[in-house]
Every structure is written in C-alpha cells, then in structure tokens.
Amino acid sequence: MKFEKVYSIKKDEWMKWSDTIAAAIEDFQSVYTFYPNILEANDHTFSQFDFLVNIIPSERQRVVHKDDVTGIVKLPDKTENIFLRSFDFCDETDIDFAVDNHFTDKEFRLVYDDEPEWDEPEIPVNCPVNELEPCHF
C-alpha cells in the first residue's frame, strides 16, 4: 500500500522549514490516516535543510544523532557539520529522507509506503567517518 502527496515551501518560509514539514505531516495524516515514512525532495532542497540547521542555533539544538541499531541518542558536536537524513515528527513516526531530483526546488513529497525499496547508498571515497553518521531532526 502506498500513499503520496506533494507539498511546497514558500519562498518566505525557508526559515520555518521544519514547521512547514510538520504541518504537511499533519495534513497527510488527516487525509490518509497514516503517518508518512518517507520525505522525497531534490538535492538542493535537502542541502537547504542542512544549511539551515548548521547556521540557526535553535534549529541545531533540535538535531540528534540516533544509532539505528542501539537507538542511543547523542547531540552532535558543536563544530560538526550536520547532514540530515530523517525527520522525527513524534513517537508515531520517523520519516526517512530520499533524494528525487525530478522535484523542483522547495517542493517535497510525503509518502507512506508499507514496503519501501531502498537502494544501497554510495559511500564517497575518502569521506570522513563523522560525516557518515546519521543525523535526525
């Protein structure tokens, strides 16, 4: 079973990007009665999320590293460059990010997929280990 809905971030809403995503999640859940488990957007949109959490102290404070195996949560180092890979909305859902460069900038799609198929990520050559750690918002 799969449900999808496209949303957009208005030009003047970039600074409130996480609120826009939260409102979209609530809308999605009210329409489909399921919380989404995937957020798709293009590389540039995701890079803007990363940029904002790295420059806005209040956004940075909300980011945590969460170990997928143990579930242990820790705060990122103050000097660490953060790369988000998911968005924790509530106890009900953890939304994984997936790049789809068919979207325009500021556009994203929320998806509920009960059987998602994931490609194995390519690990860049000579990538520092700390940049490979997952970050959750």
Per-residue pLDDT tens digits for 6-35: 999 998 888 888 889 999 999 999 999 999
Higher pLDDT, 67 or 40: 40
What is the average pLDDT across 63-77? 77
Which element (helix H / strand E) includes 36? none
pLDDT recorded at residue 132: 47
* Residue among 92, 89, 99, 57 at smallest CA distance from 75: 57
